[in-house]
Amino acid sequence: MKRIQDIEKLSVVELERIGADESIPVPADWHPLLPRRNTAARWSVAAAAVAVLIGLGWFGFQYEPAPKDTFDDPYLAYAAIEKTMARMSVDVNQAVIKVTEAEQRLGQIYKQR
Amino acid sequence: MKKLFILLLLLGFGVTALAQNGRQLYNKYSDSPGVEAIYISPTMFKRIGIIPDMELNDKDVNLSHVIKSMTGFYSLSASNAKVREALRKDIDKYIQSSDYELLMESKDDDEIMRIYIVGDEETITSFVMLEYEDDEINFISIDGNMNRAQMEDLLAKTVK
């Protein structure tokens, strides 16, 4: 965009050309002077865009909606957790008893030897 | 450039890996025939946390501290043979593809019980318990920031 000072410096011919909306021909030797972007930088941008798209697509594919709560009442939810924890602790204790029994049997075997 | 591309790809996959949890299994099997399912959301855990401690305290074991540190609870019990088979395959895949370490395993004839956890020496961020029985599979997945010592103590005691 031109500033007022720049416009004021324009010649009459230039002002007429602008008024007529004439295009200005590009000099034949101008193209080599145009700044060229680094190929590696362009590839980096493309790679980043592809990676982001793949990431977003994968995220969308993996996204799981939240299920509906089984209980509306926190006391019922607490009771369900308590019941589950009780079952888990029974299983763990049974496993610990088995390990203890196995250790005792191994101990007896070593003593016999 | 290649390094940047690989780094960004890994970042993308890493973000999605964080999103994986027991929810996928729950959503897939909770409506299947012969499946009993329980889901407790983070919101419900917050509501449980509002219940006064005195009311939460069990006579023998105090569950309240551990329960208040939970943020998600998924439980599936499948008795249907086809569902059991499919669920077992998916559970095995899920465990193998995650950072779970085997905390405990117990085998008795055809019954297998395994406990897997994700976390460090002080905190458990994910807890999975599996029970494979002749006629039933039980899958329990708990997310949160649970104190490891409290959790292990809780499991060691018999909760009534």
Domain boundaries, chain B: 21-156
Mean pLDDT score across all residues of chain B: 81
Kindly list the residues from chain B whose CB atom is less than 8 angstroms away from the CB atom of residue A62: 16, 19-20
Residue B117 Cα to chain centre, angstroms: 8
Residue-level pLDDT at A15: 84
Contact at 8 Å (CB) between B100 and B128? yes
Residues 6+ apart with CB under 8 A from A48: B4, B5, B8
Containing structural domain, residue A92 = 71-113
Q: Does the beta carbon of A18 lie under 8 angstroms from any beta carbon of chain B?
A: no
How far, CA to CA in Å, does A20 sit from each of A13, A17, A85, B52? 10, 5, 85, 83
- Whether A5 is covered by a domain: the verdict is no
Mean pLDDT score across all residues of chain A: 81
- Whether A16 is covered by a domain: the verdict is no
How far is Cα B139 from Cα B121, in angstroms, rounded to an integer?
24
- Whether A8 is covered by a domain: the verdict is no
Query: What ipTM was predicted for this assembly?
Result: 0.75
- Whether A90 is covered by a domain: the verdict is yes
Q: What is the pLDDT of residues B12-64, one digit of tens each?
A: 554 444 444 688 899 999 999 999 999 999 999 888 877 665 454 455 566 77
Query: Strand pairing partners for B45?
Result: none
Kindly list the residues from chain B whose CB atom is less than 8 angstroms away from the CB atom of residue A97: none
Of B20, B56, B104, the CB nearest to A78: B56
Q: Is the pLDDT of residue A101 over 50?
A: yes
Q: What is the DSSP string of A51-73?
A: HHHHHHHHHHHH--PPPPPS-SS
Closest CA of chain A from B156, distance in Å? 6
| pTM recorded for the entire structure | 0.67
Q: Phi and psi (nearest 5°) for A100? A: -60, -45
Number of domains in chain A: 1
